[in-house]
A and B are shown apart, each in its own frame.
Chain A
C-alpha cells in the first residue's frame, strides 16, 4: 500500500520491542465478540492511482460543470474566475498539511494570514472586527442569531422573507433550540414591513441584502426599527462581491454581519467546503464565536500573532463555551484572502462593476421576452424573473440543451405559490456575450 511506509520486517521488529506476539495482542482490550474479519466488510481491496482516478473521473463526467456551457445559477453560490495563483498557493504543503496554529512559533504563516483575513473581512463589511471564519454563510448566520440571543438575553429572532431559505431553516433548527424564530412572509422583489414583527422579546432581525431574489435592501430603516426596540440587526450577505459596489452593512447600522465568502477564491464544489465570514462591533468581541488571531510580541519583542480570547472557546470553557465550533474553514479562508489580495481595491471594485454590468444587460435583454417580467428593480448581479409557466420545468428543458439557466425559486421554496414561476438568474464576469445571447434565445424558444 503506497501510503504505508512500514515493511513486514519493520512490523516484526517493532512487535518484538513492544513484547507483543502479534498485532492482535495490541487490540486485546477490544472485546473478542467485537473484532470482525476482513471478509465482514463488503468492500473492495485497495487500488492503484490509475484505477482510483479512473473510477472518480467517471463519476465526475456524469455532472455538468458550470464551465461546460452557458451558466447562470446563483442563489447562495456563485461562479467566479479564480486566478491560478490562488489554487497553487493554497496547495503549498505548509498551508495544506498543517493544523490549527496551537504552536504559534511554528505557525506564524497561518496566524498572519488569518489576521490579514480578519482585517479584510472587517474592511469589506464596514465592521470593526471579524473572526477567522466559520463553516459557511448559513452556519455563520445561525451563530449570529445565537450571539444576539446571548447579548440581549432575549429569545426571539425575526427573519426577513428574503433570507435564503436554507439559511432560514438552519437558523430555525439551531436557534429554535433556545428561542423562537419568526419568518416574515416571502415577497419576491419587495421589502417587507419587518418593523411590525419586532417587539420587546426580539433579540435580532436578520435581513439579507442582496436578498435571495437579488433585491438590494435598504438596511438603515430596519436597523433603526430594531435598535428602537433594543434588538440587533444581523445583516447577511451571500454574494460578497456585491460589497465592491454597494454600501457595506456596517455603514447601515448592522450589529453583526454573517456572510458567505465562497465567491472569492473558492470553487462551487457542489455546496462545500465554503467559508463563513463573521464580523461585528468591537464591544461584542467576547461574545463572538470562532477562532481569532491577535497581534502580540515574542520574547525578543518582535511582532507576531497568536490565537487569542480562547477563553470563549470549547477547548477551554467546555460546557460554558460561546459555541461548540472547533475548527474554522482555514484553507478556504486562505483562498479568500489570497484572491482578495490579488484583486486589491481596484480589482475588487472592477470585478463588482463587471458583475453588475453583465447582470443589468442580461436582465434588460430577458425582460423583453414575451411574458417575462423582471421582479427585482434593484439588484447587484442576480435578479428574479417571473415566467409565464413554472420555472422548474423551464430549467430542466434548458439544461437538456446545455444551458444552466438559473435556480427555480420553487427548489428553495416548494410550498410558496408566489415562487412557482420565479427563476433566479445570476450573471458574473465569467459570462460572455455569447452565453447571454444563447440564454435569451433558448428561453424565448422554451417559453410559449
Chain B
C-alpha cells in the first residue's frame, strides 16, 4: 500500500484485502437489524394509551382469550428499527433507477404535502356529499386532464392499480360484447405483452391467443389479421410496446380490430413516452388504463399503492363500473346505485369499495398542474431523448436487437456477452456494486437475455454520461473475459445473492416464536 509523507494510506485498499470481521457484526454504517419480533420487552409500548375498564356484556362472549404475540417497543426503538431497514433499500431519490417498464422517475415532495392536507387525507369516503364537494371536484378535474390528454370521451377512476385497471377495461369490454348479444371468448395478446395482460384476460373470462412479434420487435400484423375473427372479443396491445418501440401499424391494427367487431385494449403502462404529443383516442383505442404512478409520478412506495384509471371510447363508456361521478346544478354527486344511473349507462358492476385511490389522485393532479401541458410534453420528449441517447451511446459496446429510434426505454440483449461467461444476471448484479439499480432483465421475453433500460426524464446529462461510461466499461471488461467483477456480484451490499430456490422449496413466510431462526450476526 502506498503512503503519503504523513504515513497515511493514499488509497483505501478496497478490493485488495477483505476487511476483518467486526466485533459487533455491523459494518460501519451498514447495520444488521434483527426482526422486530426479536426486539423489545413485554409491557413496553411506543404509544401512550390509558388502560380503561370495560364491561364484557356487549362482547357476545367473544373476548379474546390468549395474547396476540406482538412485541413491545418504545418509540425510539421503533424509529431506529425502521430507519435501519430503510438504509438497506435502493431508491430513486438516491440514484438512477433504470428499471425498464416501471418508470422510476422523480416523485415531487409537494405532492406528498398536498395529499396530506386534512381536507383530502382526513376525509371519510362516506361523508355526506355536501362535505366532500372539493374532493369530488378534484376527481372531476383529474378526469378532465386524463380525457384531454388521451383524446378519449370518458374515464373511470375506480381501479386501484394498473392491473386492476386492465381488469376493469376487460370487464367493460366483456359487458359491451354481452350487450350486443354476442359470444366472443378469445383475446389476442402479443407475446411481448406484460404478464398481467394474459393473466387479466383469463381472469376476465377470456381465453388467450398469442400473436408473434416480427424480427423488428413489433406486432406481426399479418399474424394478427389471420387470427382475427367473429370469436375475438379484443386485442390487448401495449403501445409503445415492451421493446420500447412504437407500433407503427397501430392505425391499421385498430382498423382491423374494429372491422372484426372486436375492441382495442391498449395497455397504457408506457403512456409516459407519448403524453402531450399523441392521443390514444386518435389511434383508435377503445380502452386504456393509465398507471398514475408511472406517467404522473405518484411514488412507487416499495410496490404500491398505485392507481389505474381507465379511459374509454364512446362505445365502451356506458359500461363503466360504479360509482359514477356526475356534475349538475346541485354540484357534484356520486352515483353508487345501478338504478340511479343516467339514461344509457349500464355499469358492469363494482370493482372495489368506495371510489378509488384519492391519495394518488391528489398527487397526480399536482404533477399535472406543475408540469402543465407544455411540461408534460417536454417530459415525454426528454424521456424519449434520454433513452435514445443511451441506446446510441451503448449500442456498440453492448448489443441492441432492434434498430432505433426507441421510445422511452432502450432494449439490449445478451449477444455482446456471447462466450464471455457473463450472463445478463451477472451483468445486472455487477451494476449494483457500481451504485446503480439494475435495469429490468429477462423481459420482454422476445429477445434473449433482455436488458431494458428506462432512464426517465428525471436524469441530468451528467448523470446519463456517467451511467453510460460505467456500463460501457463493464461491457468492455465482460467482452475481454474479465469475469471477476461479475461472478458472484454484488459484493458491496447489505446481502449477497440470496438463495431463492431454498426460499420457495421450503417456504418460511413468517416469524415463529418457538423455532427461533439462527441469528445472522
Min distance, Cβ A445 to any Cβ of chain B, angstroms: 18
Report whether B163 and A324 are in contact in the complex, using a CB–CB cutoff of 8 Å.
yes
What 1/0 mask marks residues of chain A from 1 to 27 whose CB sits below 8 Å from any chain B CB? 111111100110111011110010111
- Residues in B with CB closer than 8 Å to A327 are 161-163, 303-306
Report whether A29 and B36 are in contact in the complex, using a CB–CB cutoff of 8 Å.
no
Q: Is the C-beta of B231 less than 8 angstroms from some C-beta in chain A?
A: no
Q: Is the C-beta of B268 less than 8 angstroms from some C-beta in chain A?
A: no
Report whether A79 and B499 are in contact in the complex, using a CB–CB cutoff of 8 Å.
no
In order of increasing CB-CB distance, the 5 nearest A-B pairs are A271-B354, A60-B119, A62-B134, A173-B349, A331-B301
From known contacts A34-B279, A113-B82, A345-B67, infer whether A56 and B117 are also in contact, taking CB-CB under 8 Å: yes
Q: How far is the CA of A244 from the CA of B93 in the complex (A)?
A: 38
Which residues in chain B, 28-48, are within 8 Å of chain A measured between CB atoms?
Answer: 33, 35-37, 40, 42-47
Report whether A56 and B138 are in contact in the complex, using a CB–CB cutoff of 8 Å.
yes
Q: How far is the CA of A297 from the CA of B75 in the complex (A)?
A: 30
- Residues in A with CB closer than 8 Å to B83 are 89, 92
From known contacts A116-B36, A129-B510, infer whether A299 and B497 are also in contact, taking CB-CB under 8 Å: yes
Q: How far is the CA of A138 from the CA of B349 in the complex (A)?
A: 13
Q: Is the C-beta of B114 less than 8 angstroms from some C-beta in chain A?
A: yes
- Closest residue of A by beta carbon distance from B161: A327
Report whether B502 and A63 are in contact in the complex, using a CB–CB cutoff of 8 Å.
no
Which residues in chain A, 377-406, are within 8 Å of chain B measured between CB atoms?
Answer: 377-380, 395-396, 399-400, 404
What 1/0 mask marks residues of chain A from 35 to 66 whose CB sits below 8 Å from any chain B CB? 11010111111111101110111111111111
Report whether B89 and A411 are in contact in the complex, using a CB–CB cutoff of 8 Å.
no
Report whether A272 and B114 are in contact in the complex, using a CB–CB cutoff of 8 Å.
no
Report whether B124 and A66 are in contact in the complex, using a CB–CB cutoff of 8 Å.
yes
Q: Is the C-beta of B343 less than 8 angstroms from some C-beta in chain A?
A: no
From known contacts A122-B510, A246-B62, infer whether A267 and B122 are also in contact, taking CB-CB under 8 Å: yes
Report whether A73 and B127 are in contact in the complex, using a CB–CB cutoff of 8 Å.
yes
Pick the residue among A10, A103, A104, A112 that contacts B35 (CB under 8 A).
A112
Report whether A344 and B106 are in contact in the complex, using a CB–CB cutoff of 8 Å.
no
Pick the residue among B115, B130, B348, B384 that contacts A27 (CB under 8 A).
B384
- Closest residue of B by beta carbon distance from A60: B119
What 1/0 mask marks residues of chain B from 61 to 78 whose CB sits below 8 Å from any chain A CB? 011110111111101001
**Most chain B Cβ neighbours within 10 Å, of A41, A83, A110, A297:** A41
Q: How far is the CA of A326 from the CA of B410 in the complex (A)?
A: 23
Report whether B372 and A43 are in contact in the complex, using a CB–CB cutoff of 8 Å.
yes
Which residues in chain A, 176-229, are within 8 Å of chain B measured between CB atoms?
Answer: 176-178, 216, 218
Q: How far is the CA of A92 from the CA of B35 in the complex (A)?
A: 20
- Closest residue of B by beta carbon distance from A57: B117
Min distance, Cβ A298 to any Cβ of chain B, angstroms: 4
Report whether A120 and B350 are in contact in the complex, using a CB–CB cutoff of 8 Å.
no
Q: Is the C-beta of A157 less than 8 angstroms from some C-beta in chain B?
A: no
Pick the residue among B91, B112, B137, B278 that contacts A36 (CB under 8 A).
B278
Q: Is the C-beta of B346 less than 8 angstroms from some C-beta in chain A?
A: no
Q: Is the C-beta of B302 less than 8 angstroms from some C-beta in chain A?
A: yes
Min distance, Cβ B71 to any Cβ of chain A, angstroms: 6
- Closest residue of B by beta carbon distance from A374: B58
Pick the residue among B119, B247, B340, B494 that contacts A108 (CB under 8 A).
B494
> Which of B358-366, B415-423, B478-486 is the contact stretch?
B358-366
Q: Is the C-beta of A172 less than 8 angstroms from some C-beta in chain B?
A: yes
Min distance, Cβ A348 to any Cβ of chain B, angstroms: 6
Report whether B374 and A38 are in contact in the complex, using a CB–CB cutoff of 8 Å.
yes
Report whether B276 and A29 are in contact in the complex, using a CB–CB cutoff of 8 Å.
no
Interface size grouping (class) on chain A: 35 or more
**Most chain B Cβ neighbours within 10 Å, of A19, A87, A109, A139:** A109
Report whether A306 and B500 are in contact in the complex, using a CB–CB cutoff of 8 Å.
yes
Pick the residue among A27, A63, A310, A411 that contacts B134 (CB under 8 A).
A63
Q: How far is the CA of A132 from the CA of B36 in the complex (A)?
A: 16
Min distance, Cβ B30 to any Cβ of chain A, angstroms: 11
- Residues in A with CB closer than 8 Å to B353 are 76, 136-138, 164, 166-167, 170, 260, 271
Min distance, Cβ B262 to any Cβ of chain A, angstroms: 18
Q: Is the C-beta of A373 less than 8 angstroms from some C-beta in chain B?
A: no
- Residues in B with CB closer than 8 Å to A368 are none
- Residues in A with CB closer than 8 Å to B379 are 1, 3-4
Q: Is the C-beta of B223 less than 8 angstroms from some C-beta in chain A?
A: no
- Residues in A with CB closer than 8 Å to B282 are 33-34, 36
**Most chain A Cβ neighbours within 10 Å, of B102, B457, B494:** B494
- Residues in A with CB closer than 8 Å to B23 are none
> Which of B7-15, B199-207, B309-317, B469-477 is the contact stretch?
B199-207
Report whether A354 and B49 are in contact in the complex, using a CB–CB cutoff of 8 Å.
yes
- Residues in B with CB closer than 8 Å to A294 are 503-504, 507-509
Q: How far is the CA of A51 from the CA of B370 in the complex (A)?
A: 9
- Closest residue of B by beta carbon distance from A9: B461
- Closest residue of B by beta carbon distance from A168: B350
Report whether B493 and A353 are in contact in the complex, using a CB–CB cutoff of 8 Å.
no
Report whether B503 and A135 are in contact in the complex, using a CB–CB cutoff of 8 Å.
no
Min distance, Cβ A415 to any Cβ of chain B, angstroms: 7
From known contacts A46-B372, A173-B348, A414-B339, infer whether A345 and B91 are also in contact, taking CB-CB under 8 Å: no
Pick the residue among B130, B164, B171, B322 that contacts A396 (CB under 8 A).
B130
From known contacts A136-B160, A342-B78, infer whether A29 and B405 are also in contact, taking CB-CB under 8 Å: yes
Report whether B149 and A17 are in contact in the complex, using a CB–CB cutoff of 8 Å.
no
Other CB < 8 Å A-B pairs besides A3-B106, A169-B349, A326-B162, 7 of them? Answer: A1-B375, A63-B133, A65-B118, A105-B432, A302-B520, A330-B301, A331-B302
Min distance, Cβ A330 to any Cβ of chain B, angstroms: 4
Q: Is the C-beta of B166 less than 8 angstroms from some C-beta in chain A?
A: yes
- Closest residue of A by beta carbon distance from B193: A318
Report whether A10 and B107 are in contact in the complex, using a CB–CB cutoff of 8 Å.
no
From known contacts A137-B353, A353-B54, infer whether A270 and B110 are also in contact, taking CB-CB under 8 Å: no
Min distance, Cβ B445 to any Cβ of chain A, angstroms: 9
- Residues in B with CB closer than 8 Å to A128 are 510
Min distance, Cβ B246 to any Cβ of chain A, angstroms: 4
- Residues in B with CB closer than 8 Å to A297 are 498-499, 502
Q: Is the C-beta of B399 less than 8 angstroms from some C-beta in chain A?
A: no
**Most chain A Cβ neighbours within 10 Å, of B70, B117, B246, B339:** B70
Min distance, Cβ B271 to any Cβ of chain A, angstroms: 13
19 contacts between A and B (CB under 8 A): A35-B277, A57-B117, A77-B125, A94-B89, A107-B89, A109-B87, A116-B36, A116-B511, A178-B205, A246-B62, A246-B63, A269-B120, A273-B305, A309-B504, A309-B507, A324-B200, A344-B44, A344-B45, A414-B339
- Residues in B with CB closer than 8 Å to A331 are 299, 301-302, 304-305
Pick the residue among B46, B110, B443 that contacts A49 (CB under 8 A).
B110
Q: How far is the CA of A291 from the CA of B303 in the complex (A)?
A: 10
